[in-house]
Amino acid sequence: MYHGIGASKGYGIGRVTIYRDADLRYTPRSDCDAQTEKMRLNDALKLFFERNERLSERVRETAGESAAEIILGHMMMMKDPYMCSEIEKRIDAGQCAEAAVEAVCDLFIAMFSAVDDEMTKQRATDVRDIKSEMLALLLGVHTVDLSDLPKDTVLVAKELTPSMTACIDRKNVVGFITEVGSKTSHAAILARAMEIPAVLSVENATEKFKNNQLVIVDGIHGEILTDPEKGTVAAYVRLRMDFEKERAALEKFMGLETLTKDGEKVQLFANIGTPEDASQVIAYDGEGVGLFRTEFLFMDRSTMPDENEQFEAYKKALLIMKNKTVIIRTLDIGGDKEIPYLGLKKEENPFLGFRAVRYCLKNSEMYKTQLRALLRASAYGDLQIMIPLVTGVDEVRQVKTLIREIQAELDEKVIAYNKDLKIGVMIETPSAAILADVLAKEADFFSIGTNDLTGYTMAVDRGNADVAYLYSAFSPAVLRMIRHIISEGKKAGIPVGMCGEAAADPLLIPLLISFGLDEYSVNPTSLLATRREISRWSKQEADKIAESVMALETEKQIVSELSRYIHL
């Protein structure tokens, strides 16, 4: 048995086809004719755009709009003025088109790989995909046709790139195994959209497995069984049938309100990183967006997006959501999100340093550009602004002062915006949690960011394996803090949401119902499972569980007690 990361749930039973990367070696030259190389580059780009346009249409049909946007994102990268100009500069200096493309792509890959953030690292994978595709086109190398694989194929590859995934006929592929990748990679997102089980990060997978070898891919537990006996295959066939029944059961929650067992309504929102992700929220029946991470608009580029570009992005998300609530977090840079052109200084401990609202308030003109774009976009739907990394009431008041200044400017120019715009606070620091009663007087809503709140409360770097055991939202300290935040929001009469990963955890949901959480914001693919989990509990049942759990003293005791009630 081999182990990896279960990135797309389900059970795949089939025979291995190993995909090996094409040979893209070439001899670099530094004395090439620039005009000739630019013509070669333009020819390759034309083919690149034509191919990806076709792929995006195919993915739109097989996996939906949000999956197609991943492929379209590759096209946008290759149209980026900075990337194009850097490639042409190297060609003008005498490099061949292959070397110029590779050098610029490697520059972006190194930049994105250096950031300790999974979403940003995924950009590096996308650029590697683009580089391979462009080199293949320039070299005239024909890649393997993945659209014509045998029935019941388990595809094994070093890396499952979006362009590869887009070619696959989902009727013939029953599983993916790769050497690299994570749950948040675009390949994983596409695998989930295509409902194909996937286990990623299996070391030396292309060497460990053999073509035509019978394997079972367990995408739930991240396991691969090789050469299974008949009895084992039969057992997994039954598991696959049960899983399909479970998936069908979740489909029954499409179009329903999100209600507890005793009929108490809560809101079920989703977290997104781009305007295009809003399509996925609609596809999975989300009731709104609880967190739009705007920093991704500022990445993958050499200059800051101007006001109109930001306005169009926010407006696009609002139009997709069709008057449903969209909570947009203002720029949260620093920490693990480095944006070179903003000139952030290197810090010993960036998570405790000059980041998020601290940076924005010190760079007020840049911040006002974003706030002005947000206000203008608010005329197109239910946009709400959320301030990240708040530690005290002064920060909230300063942001509101800037917003009032912008409102006065827009009024003077007769530019429309929502005059009842709601401004909320992301509660992710212990100081904000302790001051929840004070902040509730200034904020229109709270949203609990459990990822950072857990890390800051427990004084844990979750990337440090030696202390990772302390990083848990089930710590008594974290649970008491969550309960306190919700309680203070209730007293002030403002809604309280949660946009951290814990909002989708079945173990935590009865506690959140008992505490009185108003809004759950989760990954779009977790929406239906979260709605079902909420429907399983009445307030009375949840209160009974909370009473026993909150009297316990350790994280281990709490998880053990909750596990008695939850059937995972």
Alpha carbon 335 to its chain's center: 17
Residue 198 host element (H or E): strand 198-200
How far is 144 from 229, CA to CA, in rounded Å? 31
Amino acid at 62: T
Task: Find the catalytic residue in 96, 105, 360, 499.
Answer: 499
Q: Minimal CA–CA distance to 317: which of 283, 281, 285, 287?
A: 281
How far is 216 from 355, CA to CA, in rounded Å? 45
Task: Find the catalytic residue in 74, 105, 186, 360.
Answer: 186
How far is 303 from 323, CA to CA, in rounded Å? 31
How far is 407 from 31, CA to CA, in rounded Å? 57
- DSSP bridge partners of 293: 329
On whether the CB atoms of residues 424 and 467 are closer than 8 A, the answer is no
On whether the CB atoms of residues 132 and 160 are closer than 8 A, the answer is no
- The phi, psi pair for 492, rounded to 5°, reads -85, -10
On whether the CB atoms of residues 247 and 477 are closer than 8 A, the answer is no
Q: Strands 173-178, 153-157: parallel, antiparallel or unpaired by DSSP?
A: parallel
How far is 420 from 422, CA to CA, in rounded Å? 6
Residue 334: which region, alpha, beta or left (left: phi > 0; alpha: psi -120 to 50)? Answer: left
Of how many residues is the chain composed?
Answer: 568
CB atoms within 10 A of CB 248: 9
- DSSP bridge partners of 19: 157
On whether the CB atoms of residues 417 and 407 are closer than 8 A, the answer is yes
**355: Cβ contacts below 8 Å, ≥ 6 apart:** 332, 333, 334, 335, 344, 389
Residue 427 host element (H or E): strand 422-427
Is 499 a catalytic site residue? yes
How much of the chain is helix, strand and coil, in % rounded to 5?
A: 55, 15, 35
Sign of CA dihedral 425, 427, 432, 437: positive
Amino acid at 200: L
Alpha carbon 432 to its chain's center: 25
Instruction: Give DSSP secondary structure letters for 502-551.
Output: GGG-TTTHHHHHHHT--EEEE-GGGHHHHHHHHHT--HHHHHHHHHHHTT
Write out the two tokens for 460.
Answer: 């844990």
Q: Name the residues annotated as catalytic.
A: 186, 499
